[in-house]
Structures are given as C-alpha cells and as structure tokens.
Homo-oligomer: A and B are copies of this chain.
Amino acid sequence: MAKKITRQNAKSSAAFSVADRLHSTAIHLLRRVRKQDVASGEGPARLSALSVLVFGGAKTLGDLAAAEQVKPPTMSRIVAGLARSKLVQITPDPQDRRRMSIRPTPRGVKLLHEGRQRRIEYLASHLAGLTPEELSQVAESTEILGRVLRNWA
C-alpha cells in the first residue's frame, strides 16, 4: 500500500532531511573542534562536565551525571580525572555523607576559559567567510536547538 500524502507526512519529510544532515554536520563539526581541545590536555567529556560546573555552579555527582546524560559510574570516572588534574574540588556534604559537592577550582575555571578562547578563535576563523546574516542564522538555530534540548523528554 502506498503512503498517503498528508500534512503530517510533509512535515516528517522536512524533519527527515533536517535531522539527518544535522546529525552528520554535528559529528563532523565536533571532530574538528575536538582537535583544538586536545591542547587543553583534557578530553571532551571532562571539558563538558567542567563547563557545566563553571557555568552552573557546584553539583553532586548524580546531578552532574544527569546534566551530562551519562550514568553515574561514567561521571564518577570523569570527576576522578578532573580531580586528579586539580580542576575540581570535592567536598563531602555534611548533611548527607553519601553525597559530594563538586566545584571547579580557580585552575579549572582558568583552563575552561582558555579552552573556550582557543575554540572560539579556531571556529571564528572558519566562520569568517560567513555574512553577518548567515552568522545570526546559525546563532538563531543554535538557540532553537538549545531550547529543544532543554525540553527533551
């Protein structure tokens, strides 16, 4: 049986190609940017977790795992790595000794901002050929996708 062409299918079809290209583009974009981030000496998962701490303040391991959409054992190892590099400080919660409060150290804040700077300069140099209109379109789209992510089921 042939599919009926409906408003729903037309929408799905648009979403189909957007989703597929978006996926491929995201993969290849991240591959490139990651190569700048190696200069920091820390991997992407650690930098991403550190970023959450720097911009969102102290968190427990579980909260951090939830924010980063990984399981607790994974975040446990990421945090251990960050602590080993002295980028975060771990203090036990006196109210509940099972919990830990994880916060960035000054060194962690500095490293994150330096990495951010490097990444921006690198990306910006490649976005240099874009017109202001194109750049603002990318910004707008990023905003839209950020909203989608925050409302994700």
Q: Would you call B119 and A148 a contact (CB within 8 A)?
A: no
Q: Would you call B120 and A19 a contact (CB within 8 A)?
A: yes
Number of interface residues of A (CB under 8 A): 58
Residues of B within 8 A of A14 (CB): 132, 135-136, 139
Q: Nearest residue in B to A117 (C-beta to C-beta)?
A: B16
How many Å lie between the Cα of A148 and that of B70 in the bound state?
A: 30
What's the nearest-Cβ distance from chain B to residue A133, in Å?
A: 10
Q: Would you call A20 and B120 a contact (CB within 8 A)?
A: yes
Q: Which of B27, B30, B121, B127 contacts A18 (CB 8 A)?
A: B127
How many Å lie between the Cα of A140 and that of B22 in the bound state?
A: 10
State the A residues within 8 Å of B (CB). 11-12, 14-33, 44, 48, 51, 68-70, 116, 119-121, 123-124, 126-130, 132, 134-146, 148-149, 151-153
